[in-house]
Amino acid sequence: MSAEALILDFGGVISRTLFETHALSEAALGLPTGSLTWQGPFAPQSDDLWQSMQAGKISEREYWHQRTQEVAALAGRDWREMSDFVIAARGADPLPVIRPEALAAIAKARDAGKRLAILSNELDLFYGAEFREKLPFLKAFDVIVDATYTGILKPDPRAYAECLAQLGLPAETCVFVDDQPRNIEGARAVGLACVAFDVTNPIASYRQALSLLGL
Domains of the chain: 5-16+98-212 (3.40.50.1000), 22-90 (no CATH)
Which segments in the chain show pLDDT lower than 50?
A: none
pLDDT of 23 reads: 94
> Does the N-terminal peptide bond of residue 32 adopt cis geometry, omega within 30 degrees of 0?
no
**Entry pTM:** 0.90
Query: What is the C-alpha to C-alpha distance for residues 83 and 178, in angstroms, rounded to an integer?
Result: 20
Range 172-209 burial, b when 16+ CB lie within 10 A, else e: ebbbbbbbbebbbebbeebebbbbbbebeebeebbebb
pLDDT of 2 reads: 75
Per-residue pLDDT reduced to its tens digit, 97-139: 999 999 999 999 999 999 999 999 988 877 877 888 889 999 9
Phi, psi of 116 (to 5 degrees): -130, 140
